[in-house]
Amino acid sequence: MFSLLIGVSMLVTLSLGQTQTCKSFLYGGDSYYPLDFCANVKSAGTELSYDYSCDGTTVMYNVYTKGGCSGTKTSAAATGATMVKCDGGVCDNVAVIKLYSTSTCAATDTYSSLPYLTDICVIDEFQTDVSYKYSCAGGNVTYSYYAGTTCSGTATMMATAYYNMECYASSIYYEVECDAKPAGSQANLISFSYMLYCLLFLTIVKLL
């Protein structure tokens, strides 16, 4: 799974001088990923999940037997990962790409889910006086190139990297979610709201 996630590291390669304020880590010295961000995967209809967390200065890779980062957890140190920020909030500038391996150009019961950070200025690896950043809007991931190292001014080039519901080479089907939330977060919110509703109901009953 970790090697699959790194397959899209080109989307989040950063200048090491950039400050990251939410929970994140580096992989390979120049690739940012969110911590404590749960992502679901599915294999032949069986849903699993994973996330990355911090244990002191160590980045941990956690795999769960159920979706929403629930069930039995198996953890191991993420080799090659470097902690950037262990405290703070969970990153909200996250886009999640679901990759279905299929010849029918449609969603199937097997997919991988890849979260990565957007709206971060990157200094080009080969042209140090050029910068770029990826953005996600309307379900599409786009990138913009700028003269200089701050991603400011008018973009010199813009293009779309991923279209939502795109079929690539008749073998991979993409679904893109912009401003994605960790898997299971909506369910947790519903459960919490239901609990508050029950408490309120019981309080009213006692007052009657």
Looking at per-residue pLDDT, the higher value among 198 and 208 belongs to 208
Does the pTM of the predicted model rise above 0.75? Answer: no
Side by side, which strands form the sheet with 111-117?
70-77, 58-66, 46-55, 39-43, 111-117, 94-101, 172-177, 166-168
Q: What does the pLDDT average to over 194-200?
A: 40
Distance from the first to the final alpha carbon of the chain: 56
SS3 content of the chain, % helix, strand, coil (to 5): 15, 45, 40
pLDDT for 185 equals 65
pLDDT digits (tens, 9 = 90+) for 16-53: 444 567 898 877 645 678 999 999 999 888 999 999 99
pLDDT for 124 equals 78
pLDDT digits (tens, 9 = 90+) for 154-174: 999 999 988 898 888 778 898
